[in-house]
Structure 1
Amino acid sequence: MITVIGESLVDIISDPRRPQDVRAHPGGSPLNVAVGAARLGLATNLVTHYAADRYGLMIEGHLLANGVTVVRGGSAPTSTATATLNPDGAATYAFDIGWDINGASLPALAAVEGSEHVHTGSIAAVLAPGDQATLALVKAARRHATISYDPNCRPGISPDAPAARARAELFVAASDVVKASDEDLAWLYPDRTPEESAAAWLELGPAIVALTRGAEGPVVVSSGARVEMPGEAITVADTVGAGDSFMAALISGLAQLDALGAPARSRLRNITTDELRALAGYANRAAAVTCSRPGANPPASAELGSLTGSLTASEG
């Protein structure tokens, strides 16, 4: 069982290549991670907020159809993000969003206490008032669960880079696995390279830090290993949700390696180079599948195969 904590919203996608084709899809980085993890075979909770309005019903239907168990709090309208695609398929966002899970503190705590792994990040880690509840749940979970975090920075929502940097470092220090994009780290730390920032985050305490670099592919580091690989060769439909699919596959891959849960922390910290390479490749393929089709549409287990199968083949 894993629990994801964070925002649900509706992505309204406008594509200048098809100006008459405006689409609305359930989204939000944590929601996408929860759906991606569930599609990869993990029993998944999502602690989130949406209202009982038109967009909220769309979100709820999507989560239930993908087998995600919902813990819902807050009272504000359902959040939206308008994504405008560039000619190369990359998205820029405008947000109408709030983050609060008031009224759900007890079921949220029960969810994290019943989980081997807890993931959070994105808007949920920086936007008041729900950011404080998010951090408290993460700290409560560390006694029995491994933790993962993805800053998924949104300067349009939290434009104060020094404040966002300080907040991110709190979550990094509380985490076992961290994933960030090169754009995230370039914004948070403009005076050093993204890979230097990933190495600095590793020193704060995580066992694994993954740096995604779009088409250039990921760099994944641990205390004893570094793995770099190119992006998969695909025709890109758009990049919406690619990083979230990468994150979900990291969690699924670690589950397949029996490296989730507080008792597995030593296992996680002693991950081998071959295991790290298989993990990076598995997550890289998940992101590529998502990029090959429109919207945040992560792959299922049947599309990726098993990480342990890939690992056995590489060792043989």
Structure 2
Amino acid sequence: MILCAGESLIDMVPEQGSFRALPGGSVYNTAIALGRLDETTSYLWPISRDAFGKMLLGPLTEAGVDTSLCPRTDRLTTLAVVTLTGTEARYSFYDEGSAGRMLHAQDIPPLPTGISAIFAGGISLVPDPCGAAVESLIERHHQTLPVMLDPNIRPFFIPDPAAYRARLARLMAMSDIVKLSADDLAWLCPDLSDDEATTWVLSQGPKIVLRTGGESGARAFWHGGTISAPAIRTTVADTIGAGDTFNAGVLASLRRQNLLTKSGLARISPAGMQAALTLGAQAAAITVSRPGANPPWAHEMPA
């Protein structure tokens, strides 16, 4: 079972001069996408008892995601107000004192024996106490469980860039797979080119670095060299949830190839990596073809 640990929130998406409330959040979207791809998935993040919390639980249940590790709380759900420039999404967060932000390490229950990998990332890594709680979770389990990290960096959400870069350096050193967009790399290593920044990230300890570039596709860097996969051509409605769905496709492919283990990731072949990138790209293409974070179900994927 793949455990997704990180933020859930409500995206307030523009619609005909108003806003439509949609369940979202980087790690939440990945959990939904994994469940819809028929992967056994568990989710860990506080869920509010407010009306938005009920909205968040619905899609998780529908996708078959286990929510037994989610603490319930009376604190309010985080809101993300979305603005669209063309098809590109930008966000403003209403998060102070929210259900997720106030997660402490002691609120995280012991992990069941069925957990086989951890996925974490998003804005849940930035503020404390929740950022420290996720870091603590990874610190406790990274030696036995493979970890995939996607920081999905939102610069305007980061009050102390130096402290956050230090946290990311610690997390990358404990991760097996790190996925970064071109924007992430530019923020993380502003004085380096994309290739130099990727090399630096690899030097921190991960076995694999995935670099995504929207229409330019995705590349994987690891001991086997570099593999590229083009983006799948489609009519883009918006890009909300695209990278999150890509992550789910990669994880699903690695799990199906019996590579989502410490030893499996250490011996992955170019063919195995290509298959993972391809499934990620195929899943993301379906998500961007429809509004909001709406990942594909298994039956919608190419045969």
| One-letter code aligned to 1:86 | T
Structure 1 residues 259-315: Cα deviation after superposition (integer angstroms, max 9, x where no partner): 123xxx232122111221121111111111111111111112222257xxxxxxxxx
Measure the CA separation in 1 of the matches of 2:34 and 2:106: 22
Q: Match for residue 312 of structure 1?
A: none
Q: Where in structure 2 are the equivalents of 1:165-176 lying within 5 Å?
A: 165-176=165-176
Measure the CA separation in 2 of the matches of 1:159 and 1:223: 35
Q: Match for residue 137 of structure 2?
A: 137
Identity %: 35
Q: Secondary structure at the match of 1:69?
A: coil
Structure 2 unaligned blocks of 5 or more: none
Q: Where in structure 2 are the equivalents of 1:253-264 lying within 5 Å?
A: 253-261=253-261
Does the 8 Å CA contact 1:5/1:119 hold for their aligned counterparts? yes
Shift of 1:217: 0.8
Q: Where in structure 2 are the equivalents of 1:215-226 lying within 5 Å?
A: 215-226=215-226
Q: Match for residue 92 of structure 1?
A: 90
Measure the CA separation in 1 of the matches of 2:108 and 2:221: 36
Q: Where in structure 2 are the equivalents of 1:150-299 lying within 5 Å?
A: 150-261=150-261, 265-299=262-296
Q: Match for residue 120 of structure 1?
A: 120
Measure the CA separation in 1 of the matches of 2:92 and 2:208: 31
Measure the CA separation in 2 of the matches of 1:133 and 1:299: 30
Structure 1 residues 179-238: Cα deviation after superposition (integer angstroms, max 9, x where no partner): 111111111211112232222211222111111101111111111220123321111000
Q: TM-score, normalised by structure 2?
A: 0.92
Structure 1 residues 61-111: Cα deviation after superposition (integer angstroms, max 9, x where no partner): 121111111122355211110011112x1111000114132497352x224
Q: Which moved more, 1:292-301 or 1:96-105?
A: 96-105
Does the 8 Å CA contact 2:105/2:132 hold for their aligned counterparts? no
How many aligned residue pairs are there?
Answer: 297
Measure the CA separation in 2 of the matches of 1:106 and 1:159: 25
Shift of 1:26: 0.5
| One-letter code aligned to 2:274 | R
2:31 to 34, 42, 48: 34
Structure 1 residues 22-77: Cα deviation after superposition (integer angstroms, max 9, x where no partner): 22110000100111111112211111023111111111112111111112235521
Measure the CA separation in 1 of the matches of 2:281 and 2:221: 14
1:69 aligns with 2:66: yes
Does the 8 Å CA contact 1:225/1:272 hold for their aligned counterparts? no
Does the 8 Å CA contact 1:161/1:187 hold for their aligned counterparts? no
Measure the CA separation in 2 of the matches of 1:304 and 1:104: 39
Measure the CA separation in 2 of the matches of 1:222 and 1:57: 41
1:55 aligns with 2:52: yes
Q: TM-score, normalised by structure 1?
A: 0.89
Measure the CA separation in 2 of the matches of 1:304 and 1:175: 28
Q: Match for residue 111 of structure 2?
A: 110
Does the 8 Å CA contact 1:11/1:82 hold for their aligned counterparts? yes
Q: Which moved more, 1:236-245 or 1:76-85?
A: 76-85
Measure the CA separation in 2 of the matches of 1:212 and 1:174: 21
Q: Secondary structure at the match of 1:179?
A: strand
Does the 8 Å CA contact 1:45/1:68 hold for their aligned counterparts? yes
Does the 8 Å CA contact 1:14/1:83 hold for their aligned counterparts? yes
| One-letter code aligned to 1:180 | L
Measure the CA separation in 1 of the matches of 2:244 and 2:143: 25
Change (3 A) 1:104 1:56: farther
Q: Which segments of structure 1 move beyond 4 Å, counting only runs of 4 or more? A: none
Query: Pairwise CA RMSD of aligned residues?
Result: 1.8
